[in-house]
Each structure stands twice: as C-alpha cells, then as structure tokens.
Structure 1
Amino acid sequence: MTFKEGSRPIRTQEMLKEALLTLLQEGHLLHQISIQKLTKRANLNRTTFYLHYQNINELKEHLVSDILQVLTDKIENLTSIFDRNRKEHLIQLLDYLLDQRSYILALVQFEQVEKHLLLLMKDLIVTRRNQSKISGRKIIVDTDIKAASIIGVIIWWLKDGLYLDSAYIAEQINPMNQS
C-alpha cells in the first residue's frame, strides 16, 4: 500500500468529521442531520460515507472520542504538575479550549461529553486534594460541586465571557480545584 492509499481513508474520515462539526456549529441537532446533508457538506457521496461508518451516530462517536482523548491528555497532564507550574498549564489548557471553542460548544450538547469533562475535572481535583493533604489542608467543598462549578465557568467563558482572557479565568479557577 502506498502512502496515498493509506492516507485517503484518514482524509475522508476527517472531511466527514469536519462536515458534522460544521453542521452542529450551525445549530443543527444531530437527529436533524441526514447522510445526504452531511455528505453534501463534505463534498463526498453517500457510498463513501458508508465505506467508513454505518450511520451518523457512529461518526459522532468517533468524533467525540477523538476530541475527548485530546482533552483527557491535556487535563491528565495537569494532575502531574507541581504548584509553581499549575497556573501556567491551566492557562495553556484554557487557550486550547479557546482555540477549539466552536468544536467544544458544538459537542457539549452530547451528554457523554459533559460527563467525561466532569470526570476528568473530578480526578484533577481529587489528585490535587491528595497532594494538599500532605500539607494539612482541610477539604471544604464536595468534589462534584467543584467539578461542576469549574466546568460551568469554562463553558460560560467559552459562550459569553470572551472579553476575559485565559489568565484571568485561570486565576478564578485555580483556587477552586485546590481545597
């Protein structure tokens, strides 16, 4: 198999994912998107779609999985960072989310995305709390409440708070995931 033959399916799948994201960003709900509408947007034919996916839900699952994997890697990276670099890495995460803003907002409508983000944030909070116990900090607020609050702040910022920069948002979030 030549490089071109091997890269063509990957390019086609990326074109289909991009078309789905574009339609979601335009406000279409998943159940409103037909294979015909999707393939027209991707400039592909229906047969090509069916060579890669059985239905739109399978395409959505692949798309969500790809984006959640990147987010997982970035958030898990924060758990291993010591105090002096945490804020800087949080700013980098927020900058990434800002760059991917339209994708994130389009995908937040899917319950699995929100649940996954909450789990990642809870893991981050628990890890930081365990690190803080060594220094004798008292746990004040439940992990679920903190995780939901942080995700809520991030989603609000991506939707309506862009007049605030990522450094400011990081300053607001950083104390939330420490105690």
Structure 2
Amino acid sequence: MTRKEDPRTIRTQEMLKNAALTLLNDGLSINQLSVQKVTQTALLNRTTFYLHYQDIEGLIAQLTQEILQELTDKIEALIQVQDIDEKKQLVQLLDYLYTQRHHLLILFQLDQFENHLFQLLKKLIEIRRHNIKSTKKTYVDSQIKTASIVGVIMWWLKNGLHLSSDYIAEQIHLMYKA
C-alpha cells in the first residue's frame, strides 16, 4: 500500500523549490544559494526547510532530478511518435525547450545536465536513424551528430532566442540531411 503524501508537504516543498528557482533566475549561481536565502524568499523558516531537506544540495538535487525527469519524459514521448517527420519532431522539442529555458539555463551550470541531454538526444537520433546494427562508424557518426545538436541547442537557449525554433530546426535538418 502506497502512502499518500500530505498536501502541506507538497506545498512547502514547492515553495522552497520555487524560491530556489527565483533566486537562480535573479542571477545567483547554484554555489551562492543558501538555506537562509531560500527560506527568506519562500517566507518560511529554516526549521521548516530542514524538515524537508538535509541541506541545500538536497534541494538542488531534487529540483534537478524533477527537471531532468520532465525533459526525459518529453523526449521519450517524442521518440515514440512515429507519424511525424524528424523536422516536426525537432521543432516540438525546441518549442518545449524554449518554454523551459529559464530552468534549463540554470541546469547548464551543472555538468550532469549536458550529459543527460546528450544521452537523450543520442537515443532519439539512433532510433530515428534506425541504427540497429552498431558499427564503429555509426557510433562515431551518432556521437558527432548528437554533440553538435546539443551544442546548437545550448547556444540557442543562451544566445540565440531571437531565432525561432522553426529556424533552428531547419538549420539542424539541413546540416544532417542524408
């Protein structure tokens, strides 16, 4: 029997996570976050924080895990869609990334984010390319394609938001038309 979580616990954790995100969006780096800053922003006390998290790293770990899981779910859903072409699939992914850009830009501070995005996109590329038989050439090919797509996406989210997701998808599609 699974235990239902108390709505007050969920609400308090959301307040703490939102406070951390607010501080990060306001320009603090992850290293500058503190329990005191988060609780002041959330209008909660430190004791409440420690009822839910062991330390600030615990809060960041949970927040990171939730954002990465949401990203994973979105890309996994796109992998399953077979009735749209690759370009439309890429546009949908870019549109999603655009809407989540504030959270993702925060995660760019963490090494694990880029690696996670790389693994998800590599899986998407390999499935879409039907790379069932893996050879040294196809391995390198998918690695290079994935690395360049991750690089383009990260550049776009950091510096190129004046360009539409359609435009970026078209440029990526043109690079890898084969």
Residues 68-87 of structure 1: pairs in structure 2 closer than 5 A: 68-82=68-82, 84-87=84-87
Check 1:178–1:116 CA distance in 2 against 1; reply closer, same or farther (3 A cut).
farther
SS of 2:6's partner is: helix
Q: Which residue does the alignment assign to 1:43? A: 43
- The question of 1:117 aligning with 2:87 is answered no
SS of 2:54's partner is: coil
Check 1:131–1:142 CA distance in 2 against 1; reply closer, same or farther (3 A cut).
closer
Structure 2 distance, partners of 1:45, 1:90, is 43
- Could you tell me whether the CA contact under 8 Å between 2:30 and 2:109 is conserved in 1? no
How many residues matched? 171
Q: Which residue does the alignment assign to 1:23? A: 23
Check 1:41–1:121 CA distance in 2 against 1; reply closer, same or farther (3 A cut).
same
Q: Any gaps of 5 or more consecutive residues in structure 2?
A: none
TM-superposition CA deviations, 1:110-133 (whole Å, max 9, x none): 111111111101111111222698
The offset of 1:164, in angstroms, is 1.2
The offset of 1:30, in angstroms, is 2.1
Moved more, 16-25 or 53-62: 16-25
Check 1:82–1:174 CA distance in 2 against 1; reply closer, same or farther (3 A cut).
farther
Structure 1 distance, partners of 2:152, 2:28, is 25
TM-superposition CA deviations, 1:13-70 (whole Å, max 9, x none): 1111111112222232222221111110111110110111001111111111111111
- Could you tell me whether the CA contact under 8 Å between 1:72 and 1:120 is conserved in 2? yes
The offset of 1:90, in angstroms, is 2.2
Check 1:168–1:45 CA distance in 2 against 1; reply closer, same or farther (3 A cut).
same
SS of 2:69's partner is: helix
Q: Which residue does the alignment assign to 1:145? A: 144
Over aligned residue pairs, what C-alpha RMSD do you find? 2.4
Check 1:42–1:131 CA distance in 2 against 1; reply closer, same or farther (3 A cut).
same
AA aligned to 2:160 is G
TM-score, normalised relative to structure 2: 0.85
The offset of 1:83, in angstroms, is 6.3
SS of 2:167's partner is: helix
